[in-house]
């Protein structure tokens, strides 16, 4: 990865010239650079799949955007770690400029993933509960807040760590109902949690391995486990009894795929973005804990983003 000065491309009739404002570093960005992600940009490429920018100029055939509008990427692979860029209009989505810049910069991946997983797999009603691992991740923090806004209860699993009490306090402040460690999932005390809230019908898995198997134990019969990440780099192991006697469902979710499948369904996309922006305006959905880093310090930001037990998202200021 190198920082380079490039000429800004010429503005075509259907293009938009954008000044980038802020762009986060997500695990998928790192995977793309490592060459291990499901989609890879042809090299040489600009890193970053998420961020927010301000429109400077538009081509003469551009109808939906004007200078001053805020935009975010409509899909993956546009390359957001840059100060300016010229993008085809269809690769951008307009977002309101009255929401905080860090909320806009981190809107298109994690909150959308959380929203879809909470609405697409189980029909949940206020009072129902959800269990998730990696609860301090960007998606995890969004799940806690969106679930609370929907009236759902959350059981949030995190890895044990030196500053555990501080993390528990932060997640509870976001609206978590219960925060437990992976070790606690195996203990009888879990029964006490399910005296006050129903057993979950939905489990969200970003880890894999043993953590997932322990979560499965607490799912209601006919419940659904949705896997959207594999941080432990271990397979999801499921006892045969979970399928036969409890008829559990295992599903997968990838936001990029959802966008591809709904490319012609502007109503679904607009409805989701509108719902999320309303939650942001009402203070019910905030950006994850962020560390703001100038673009020239990108190396330090990348290193920090790959450290274990990182609870703050590195955001490049452009």
Specify the CATH number for the domain of residue 215.
Answer: 3.40.50.720
Residues 114 and 233 in one domain: yes
Q: Average pLDDT of the chain?
A: 94
Question: Which pLDDT tens digit goes with each residue over 101-131?
Answer: 999 999 999 999 999 999 999 999 999 999 9
Residues 93 and 143 in one domain: no
**Residue 6 domain flag:** no
Supply the range of the domain harboring residue 90. 15-106+288-317
298 part of the active site: no
Residues 168 and 215 in one domain: yes
Domain total in the chain: 2
Residues 113 and 173 in one domain: yes
**Residue 73 domain flag:** yes
Q: Which of 255, 278, 301 is the last residue of a domain?
A: 255
**Residue 309 in this model has a pLDDT that exceeds 90:** no
Question: Which pLDDT tens digit goes with each residue over 59-69?
Answer: 999 999 999 99
Q: Report strand pairing: 313-317 vs 290-294.
A: parallel
User: Confidence class of residue 263 from pLDDT cuts 50, 70 and 90?
Assistant: confident
**Residue 5 domain flag:** no
**Residue 38 in this model has a pLDDT that exceeds 90:** no
**Residue 262 domain flag:** no
Residues 244 and 176 in one domain: yes
What integer is the mean pLDDT of 139-160?
Answer: 97
What dihedral do alpha carbons 2, 80, 37, 250 form, nearest 10°?
150
User: Confidence class of residue 207 from pLDDT cuts 50, 70 and 90?
Assistant: very high
Question: Which pLDDT tens digit goes with each residue over 157-193?
Answer: 999 998 899 999 999 999 999 999 999 999 998 999 9
Q: Which residues pair with 131 in a beta bridge?
A: 155, 203
Omega within 30 of 0 (cis) for the link into 44: yes
Residues 311 and 242 in one domain: no
Residues 147 and 250 in one domain: yes
Question: 147: closest CA among 108, 105, 119?
Answer: 119
pLDDT in the model for residue 213 = 92
15 contacts 59 by C-beta, under 8 angstroms:
yes
pLDDT in the model for residue 299 = 94
Sign of CA dihedral 260, 262, 266, 267: negative
Catalytic residue of the set 37, 115, 228, 298: 37
What integer is the mean pLDDT of 35-47?
Answer: 90
Specify the CATH number for the domain of residue 72.
Answer: 3.90.180.10
pLDDT in the model for residue 312 = 85
**Residue 134 domain flag:** yes
Q: Give the span between the Cα atoms of 276 and 112, in whole angstroms.
A: 8
Question: 93: closest CA among 310, 282, 270?
Answer: 270
Residues 92 and 200 in one domain: no
User: Confidence class of residue 39 from pLDDT cuts 50, 70 and 90?
Assistant: confident
């Amino acid at each position: 990865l190198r920082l380079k000065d490039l000429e800004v491309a010429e503005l075509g009739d259907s293009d938009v010239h954008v000044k980038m404002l802020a762009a986060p570093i997500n695990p998928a960005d790192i995977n793309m650079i490592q060459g291990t992600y499901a989609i890879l940009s042809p090299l040489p490429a600009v890193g970053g799949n998420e961020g927010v920018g301000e429109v400077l100029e538009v081509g003469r055939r551009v109808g939906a955007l004007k200078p001053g509008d805020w935009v975010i990427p409509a899909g993956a692979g546009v390359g957001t770690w840059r100060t300016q860029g010229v993008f085809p209009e269809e690769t951008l989505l307009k977002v309101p400029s009255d929401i905080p810049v860090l909320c806009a910069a981190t809107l298109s991946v994690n909150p959308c993933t959380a929203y879809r997983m909470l609405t697409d797999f189980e029909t949940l009603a206020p009072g129902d509960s959800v269990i998730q691992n990696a609860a301090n991740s960007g998606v995890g923090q969004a799940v806690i807040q969106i679930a609370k806004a929907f009236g759902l209860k959350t059981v949030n699993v995190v890895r044990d760590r030196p500053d555990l009490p501080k993390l528990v306090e932060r997640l509870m402040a976001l609206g978590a109902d219960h925060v437990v460690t992976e070790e606690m999932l195996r203990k009888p005390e879990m029964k006490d949690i399910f005296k006050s809230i129903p057993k979950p019908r939905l489990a969200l898995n970003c880890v894999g391995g043993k953590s997932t198997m322990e979560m499965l134990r607490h799912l209601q019969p006919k419940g659904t486990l949705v896997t959207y990440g594999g941080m432990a780099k271990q397979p999801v192991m499921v006892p045969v009894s979970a399928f036969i006697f409890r008829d559990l469902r295992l599903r997968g979710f990838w936001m990029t795929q959802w966008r591809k499948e709904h490319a012609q369904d502007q109503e679904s996309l607009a409805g989701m973005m509108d719902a999320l922006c309303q939650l942001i305006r009402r203070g019910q959905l905030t950006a994850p804990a962020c560390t703001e880093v100038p673009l020239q310090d990108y190396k330090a930001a990348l290193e920090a983003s790959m450290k274990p037990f990182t609870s703050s998202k590195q955001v490049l200021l452009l």
